[in-house]
Structure 1
Amino acid sequence: MISVLFVFSVLFGEDRETATYKPTDVILINCGTAFNTIDSRGRTWTPEQPKVFAWNSVNVSFPSKASESELLWKDVPAVPYKTVRIFRSKFTYSFTVSSGWKFLRLYFFPSRYRSDFDAVKSFFTVTVNGFTLLKNFSVNSSDSGRLIKEFIVPVLGGSKTLNLTFRPSPNSLAFINGLEIVSMPDRFYTKGGFDDNITDVGSNGDFKIDDTTVLETVYRVDVGGGMNVKDTGMFRQWLPNYGSPLGDSGNVYIMDFTINYTEKTPAYVAPREVYTTLYVRPDAKDHMNLNWTWLFPVDAGFNYLVRLHFCETMVKITKPGQRMFSIIIGNQIAKAETDVILLSGGPLIPMYLDFRTLLASNTSKTGERVNLRLDLCPNQYSYDAILNGIEIFKLNDSRGNLAGQNLVPINPIMLGGDGKLDVFLIIILAVCSAIGLVTFFIVAILLVKRKKRKDNRAGTFKVLLKQYTYAELKKITKSFSHTLGKGGFGTVYRGKLSNGVKVAVKVMQDLKGTGEDFINEVTSMSQTSHVNIVSLLGFCYEGSKRAIVYEFLKNGSLDQFISRENSSTQDVKTLNKIALGIAQGLEYLHYGCKTRIVHFDIKPQNILLDDNLCPKVSDFGLAKLCEKRESIVSLIDTRGTIGYIAPEVFSRTYGGVSHKSDVYSYGMLVLEMVGAKNKEIVETAASNTSLAYFPEWIYKELENAEQTWRFGDEITREEKETAKKMVLVGLWCIQPCPLDRPPMNKVVVMMDGSLDALEIPPNPSMHISRGFIAECSSLSDGGEIIRAVDSANT
């Protein structure tokens, strides 16, 4: 557990800011707009001007806009992400700037824009003044829903022009939401640390960065920081870092001291918040000779510049020799006997050191990812090591190339003790890369032996998550004392982690054998990261005890929300946003992962709502992974819940089972949300009526201009149109023939659009066979089902 200790008073107001750097160049371009806009920090972004377009850029691009609802759900600021410029072919921006090194920041928001351009599926190359920054790059959706790529570019010599070129890959488009160019102090990141030296790790010499080098910012971490750090004039973003669940228990100290900047370490080097926060272990005597260890996933085959920030702020450390430690980078000693007091000149005086290290590839595999390892090893009988800030930059190779593997960097992993992980790697059963976001989780490894197989082969699966013991889960849930709900495969309990984070713990029924449903849920959820997908935090796999730990959402399920007594007065706009969010989550499962995920159990009970009523798809126990190019899913069982199951899942006479089965379930869910599907009829209908499965009465209600569905007589005309739009979308989704249903990416557009754009679909109940009704009614009432069917029906 991590605690925060405030030493003296904490006053981090703007009036306490030390002198900052004033850049000579600040260029902020909000691409695709025609007006000046102001961001959340009060900075003014200007529209693109013709003078920044090179001569070869005419008629090769067009602007567009993102959906307001998607910006809202993903908590993405409108500036500069609401508008975008999309490139059909090679396009070049030309900027006249002063001579010197520049920050170049590229802002991306992977979204489906109003021009029907899906940015997630775009691939392109970006170059600047002959350097390749990104190659065949795809802006996959990150946790925050946006991505900022920061580079450091030289504009030196006689030329004072920065040419930034976007080149779409074949059969693709390129795009950019925002451009930022900011100058920096002369050779700020290329001359070396406070001692004007870059130590070449692994040799006895120094390393020089010449004027033909471009750098990419890979990590910038305020170690121990947990606040929004205001930078020193260069608008850098510092990642807060309290450590990780696998790290030692420790304290974050926040000091209210005056930092004594010097000529060697000016105030613009790093904000005072960086130097006044640090992460320390509670009792140094218990940690003697144990390293601090950080692991930073990076691209192999490149040189990296590592900048470390230090400042001695502990009251009891006042003279040289009291705190000494070695800096080890990549298992090689970078600097032995480091003494911050001795090097800086005293307490409260900041300093920073620069190191160069080469991360060689272990294989011939292109785009290999490796860990850049940083260790701080305290000397014997010395106080524990300290570190205030970390910056890591990738340097271009000999061909002027910075492009590595197409992955979004993850938060660094910090380990305590001797830096060893207490988990084991397992062979992969199913790899579903959710836009590279599998790297956002700490590796947890388990070996699952598959018994009762005719060929007695072993099956294993790999997940990159925190693994809990059953004893830990009992502690988290207070011996499973607070039940949140029960499902077909287990019971969900409320819990709280040691850091205070509330969680939901789903304990599966005692399982024997393979536990396929458990494997389905863990492998599916662990490969996803989307605002509309519930976040999986860990799991337990201990004998027959199997459990899943995921984020706790206090508003409960959609089923509870629409069933409340005040449901008749629920806001139509809110329900429409919830329906849109669910559609976006399913669109992500179907199209946003390298391996498609078909959920097979979409229903209100499996949609959870957070504090802001943002919906999150949950319960992946019946999910199936399949390749995107495969239109048909192979099933030997029937999956889902009565009332939401697509006809083809029961009877192949309606077509093959595919991701369109989720579309059907979504349609039934939407109809239930607006009251167009009567849940009570489903639960009480006779076994020989199709009313239990298909809302035949809807078409008569559509003809009634005064129909208000579940919302009462007080709703406005606009709200009536929104409700009718939801009904029409639902009806399109429940067409009996899968080919007649729209795919989820089209459903998102329909749900986000207007009523005028929709036609009334055919009555689905006119095409349902009696055989299907009979087959449905032979099943047990309610709940989740898995029923084997004759293989001849597949």
Structure 2
Amino acid sequence: MTARIFHSNFTYTFPVLPGPKFVRLYFYPSSYSNLDISKSYFSLSTNNYKLLNNFSASLTVSAIRPPVDYFTKEFIITVWDNQKLELTFIPSPASFAFINGIEIVSMPDSFYARGDDNPLTYVGNDHFFYLGNTTALETVYRLNVGGQDISSEGDTGMHRTWNQDSEYLIGQAGNNPYLPGVKIKYRAKTPAYSAPVLVYSTMRSMGPEPRLNMNYNLTWIFPVDPGFHYLLRLHFCETRMEIINENQQVFLIFINNQTAEYDADVIHMSGGNGIPVYKDYTVLVPQGSQSKQDLWLELHPNMDLKPTFADAILNGLEIFKLNTTDGNLAGSNPEPTVAPPPAEQHPSLQDRRTGKRSSILTVIAIVGGSIGAVFACSLILYFFAFKQKRVKDPSKSEEKSSWTLISQTSRSTTTISSSLPTDLCRRFTFFEINEATGHFDDQNIIGSGGFGTVYKGYIEYGFIAVAIKRLDSSSKQGTREFQTEIEMLSNLRHLHLVSLIGYCDDHGEMILVYDYMSRGTLREHLYKTKNSPLPWKQRLEICIGAAKGLHYLHSGAKHTIIHRDVKSTNILLDENWVAKVSDFGLSRLGPTSTSQTHVSTVVRGSIGYVDPEYYRRQHLTEKSDVYSFGVVLFEVLCARPPVIPSSPKDQASLAGWARKCYQRGTLDQIVDPHLKGEVAPVSLNKFAEIANSCLHGQGIERPKMGDVVWGLEFALQLQQSAEKNANSVEGINMENKSSFSPHRDAMTTDDDDMFSGAESHSRSTVSTRESVTQSDPDQRARGVFSEIIDPKAR
């Protein structure tokens, strides 16, 4: 990664045509030319607006959760006639400024700032709010509500990025109805560039139960800078075929606990089913005692007009911060660990110019400060800033990530405490848990394992579904695992890690309460199940998600965390099929100093998944998780358990058998038959290569989880690319060995053979009922393996 460094004031001047522009600034805080990036503080002004003030990219990136390497700040600025777009970087005293990339994209006139002819609803006031062209905006959030992330390539013309909304939901999540292939009928008032089809074809609704819907609000909470006005653009499109007329669904919109819309009727606003529409609202978030204030958005059915359905929907949401009267858009830095240098005082901003704008879109490419060529029809300006000698950051060279959503922050967590962290998760009473589970009714059991029994329950007066895990009094796992899981999960927040809501330790009980994962475990969708087989691309996406969760544990947390029990029943799936790694009862902190290469500990894990090197030497590293994940990858590919004791010895262990098939070039013969004709050979080869490398007998030869993530994403790209070419997508032929070539470097090691034997021995007393005898040889296995009796999630 390269950057341009400024030790004194520096101005970029862009000769662009008049009109509103997206200005996107890319920051990758790192050590450039041996400079301490934490000491970089600077301000940024443009065309009479102050965008940043004493800004620290280092503090900003450190506050983003889940952790990222770099981030984007996006602004909307109007350029007037006879005016150039100027960006002036002003380092704070004894400091320096830097920038990694600048992108400028033209947009249609009056798209966000609509002028005096179209005043906006001013929430909490009895008059309108006038948003003119002299106002600068900063994009704070842009969300595809109820849907998946949409990259800039998936946007309609302006290269915007849309993120999922689940991180900001509070309480009941509602439903996510999606009708594939639905036709979105754009109109003149809502043209195609308003938002992409994927925004309008997905939504979040309250759900099909009117009684439940009347007792809760569909709620989102967004941390924002106080002391500013905010523009909220709500995107709607009703695509469900049962709602085609006005007054079938009417709802209230609340913004910061004030009524913004009393009778929102999407069909009335848009003109019909499948027609998109958006509504704009402005609200003031006043100054408070905190550096961040919460901005609330809530929806609730309005039955006063007796509509057919008690429901509310939202498809998309954009939130923008508006400049103050003196042209300021700058918020404060996240709380620093040391005081930042004082901000430099600058002259007051000049009066804003006025003038006429042009709708012509401009494209300019600039590299290293020089003007490049105009790319035909791309309508995008890209600028890549370099330090004069293009200084590279060697510490980041192996990591591969993608730019994240602008200004994406979340609540911070504290360090792990030796006591149960009541400040980070909720402490439930036993009475609450008893009520939530229907007095631990067996009909609510959704899983069991070495820890005990897992129940589906409901909290908050029955409106929020949760998973409740109760320690079995006969379990060998006890207080240490219980407290480990609480301490680990209460300090971890990531899209691909299961969220801990709270715990209960009343009356000697040890109970954990999690978000409810409605799709269950990954294993439940692979074999011995009535569920429909997962398509190949969905399997890839699930594997990518789980790998990202493990990568965060290994590299993104304050200290390396080794899960130590990675398996398909500890990968859970939510309603959107998003994979989340679960069950941290056996987790351990990894080496805490550079001189340490491993943690010496007794072996724990699950049969068929344990790293043979860890089993033999009792040296635990993050590569032990990599091995276990390799077994999961072959589970996903072959749809069979990690151990089948009744099989021939060389086939009993999935890890050993899959590696031998990979080496012989016969892996396609053990691939899940349900995938026949669906998997592109190039994708299969890449996937198998990754899985095989994870199972290398020596941990040092296995890839890092970051490399696994990249490899799986590449396998998905290969599959998608192959599908675009109809002539090349024939899928693997299950009866043709030629679709998979031998790999002579994948010979099974002695470690694999040793561990296969150990697995067979430990399961030698297993009967057809999958039970285990109490004979002495099995006592060690019981202490080592967390799951023998019942292969369900713990």
Q: TM-score, normalised by structure 1?
A: 0.50
**Conserved? CA contact 2:547–2:705, under 8 Å:** yes
Q: Which has the higher strand share?
A: 1
Read off the aligned partner of 1:486 and give its amino acid letter.
S
**Conserved? CA contact 1:306–1:390, under 8 Å:** no
Establish whether residue 547 from structure 1 lines up as the match of residue 511 from structure 2: yes
In the alignment, the residues of structure 1 paired with residue 107 and residue 43 of structure 2 have an alpha-carbon distance, to the nearest angstrom, of 15
2:457 is matched with which residue? 495
Q: CA deviation at 1:668?
A: 1.4
2:602 is matched with which residue? 637
2:100 is matched with which residue? 174
CA distance 1:739–1:244, change in 2 (3 Å): closer
Read off the aligned partner of 1:138 and give its amino acid letter.
V
How many equivalent residue pairs?
A: 540
Establish whether residue 747 from structure 1 lines up as the match of residue 708 from structure 2: yes
Aligned partner of 2:469 among 506, 512, 515: 506
**Conserved? CA contact 1:645–1:661, under 8 Å:** yes
Aligned partner of 1:138 among 50, 61, 78: 61
Aligned partner of 1:161 among 58, 76, 85: 85
In the alignment, the residues of structure 1 paired with residue 25 and residue 500 of structure 2 have an alpha-carbon distance, to the nearest angstrom, of 28
CA distance 1:126–1:745, change in 2 (3 Å): farther
In the alignment, the residues of structure 2 paired with residue 714 and residue 395 of structure 1 have an alpha-carbon distance, to the nearest angstrom, of 54
In the alignment, the residues of structure 1 paired with residue 488 and residue 61 of structure 2 have an alpha-carbon distance, to the nearest angstrom, of 22
2:522 is matched with which residue? 558
1:576 is matched with which residue? 540
Q: CA deviation at 1:732?
A: 0.9
Q: CA deviation at 1:727?
A: 3.2
Establish whether residue 129 from structure 1 lines up as the match of residue 92 from structure 2: no
2:446 is matched with which residue? 484
Q: What residue ranges of structure 1 are gaps of 5+ in the alignment?
A: 1-85, 111-120, 200-208, 228-233, 248-293, 310-327, 330-349, 362-367, 375-388, 408-433, 451-457, 788-794
**Conserved? CA contact 1:504–1:550, under 8 Å:** yes
1:673 is matched with which residue? 636
Query: 1 or 2 for the larger relative contact order (CA 8 Å, sep ≥6)?
Result: 2
Read off the aligned partner of 2:524 and give its amino acid letter.
Q
Q: What SS does the corresponding residue of 1:96 show, helix, strand or coil?
A: coil
1:94 is matched with which residue? 14
In the alignment, the residues of structure 2 paired with residue 710 and residue 613 of structure 1 have an alpha-carbon distance, to the nearest angstrom, of 22
In the alignment, the residues of structure 2 paired with residue 244 and residue 714 of structure 1 have an alpha-carbon distance, to the nearest angstrom, of 36
In the alignment, the residues of structure 1 paired with residue 68 and residue 462 of structure 2 have an alpha-carbon distance, to the nearest angstrom, of 22
Q: CA deviation at 1:603?
A: 0.7
**Conserved? CA contact 1:297–1:369, under 8 Å:** yes
In the alignment, the residues of structure 1 paired with residue 120 and residue 16 of structure 2 have an alpha-carbon distance, to the nearest angstrom, of 31
Q: How far does the alpha carbon of each residue in 1:768-794 deviate from its partner, in whole angstroms, 9 at most, with x for none? A: 58599669956648778479xxxxxxx
In the alignment, the residues of structure 1 paired with residue 690 and residue 112 of structure 2 have an alpha-carbon distance, to the nearest angstrom, of 58
**Conserved? CA contact 2:665–2:743, under 8 Å:** no
2:656 is matched with which residue? 695
Q: CA deviation at 1:709?
A: 0.9
Q: CA deviation at 1:660?
A: 1.2
In the alignment, the residues of structure 1 paired with residue 289 and residue 432 of structure 2 have an alpha-carbon distance, to the nearest angstrom, of 39
Q: CA deviation at 1:760?
A: 5.5
Establish whether residue 649 from structure 1 lines up as the match of residue 610 from structure 2: no
Q: How far does the alpha carbon of each residue in 1:200-248 deviate from its partner, in whole angstroms, 9 at most, with x for none? A: xxxxxxxxx9x99977566899xxx999xxxxxx99999999x99799x
CA distance 1:177–1:480, change in 2 (3 Å): farther
CA distance 1:685–1:144, change in 2 (3 Å): same
In the alignment, the residues of structure 2 paired with residue 724 and residue 150 of structure 1 have an alpha-carbon distance, to the nearest angstrom, of 40
**Conserved? CA contact 1:218–1:394, under 8 Å:** no
1:602 is matched with which residue? 566
Q: CA deviation at 1:530?
A: 3.8
1:140-219 pair list within 5 angstroms: 140=64, 149=73, 151=75, 159-163=83-87, 174=100, 179=105, 216=138
Q: CA deviation at 1:617?
A: 1.5
**Conserved? CA contact 1:442–1:464, under 8 Å:** no
**Conserved? CA contact 2:591–2:599, under 8 Å:** no
Q: What SS does the corresponding residue of 2:690 show, helix, strand or coil?
A: helix
In the alignment, the residues of structure 2 paired with residue 397 and residue 95 of structure 1 have an alpha-carbon distance, to the nearest angstrom, of 27
Q: CA deviation at 1:541?
A: 4.1
In the alignment, the residues of structure 2 paired with residue 757 and residue 748 of structure 1 have an alpha-carbon distance, to the nearest angstrom, of 23
Q: CA deviation at 1:619?
A: 1.4
**Conserved? CA contact 2:425–2:490, under 8 Å:** yes
2:486 is matched with which residue? 522
**Conserved? CA contact 1:219–1:390, under 8 Å:** yes
2:691 is matched with which residue? 730
Identity of aligned residues (%): 23
Read off the aligned partner of 1:605 and give its amino acid letter.
T
In the alignment, the residues of structure 1 paired with residue 406 and residue 577 of structure 2 have an alpha-carbon distance, to the nearest angstrom, of 27
Q: How far does the alpha carbon of each residue in 1:70-106 deviate from its partner, in whole angstroms, 9 at most, with x for none? A: xxxxxxxxxxxxxxxx86547968363658xx68564
Q: CA deviation at 1:478?
A: 1.9
Q: CA deviation at 1:487?
A: 1.6
In the alignment, the residues of structure 2 paired with residue 394 and residue 595 of structure 1 have an alpha-carbon distance, to the nearest angstrom, of 38
Q: What SS does the corresponding residue of 1:673 show, helix, strand or coil?
A: helix
1:616 is matched with which residue? 580
In the alignment, the residues of structure 1 paired with residue 598 and residue 89 of structure 2 have an alpha-carbon distance, to the nearest angstrom, of 42
**Conserved? CA contact 2:519–2:572, under 8 Å:** yes
Q: TM-score, normalised by structure 2?
A: 0.50
1:765 is matched with which residue? 749
Q: What residue ranges of structure 2 are gaps of 5+ in the alignment?
A: 6-10, 29-37, 126-130, 148-157, 173-219, 234-255, 258-278, 298-316, 336-403, 719-738, 763-776, 787-794
CA distance 1:783–1:733, change in 2 (3 Å): farther
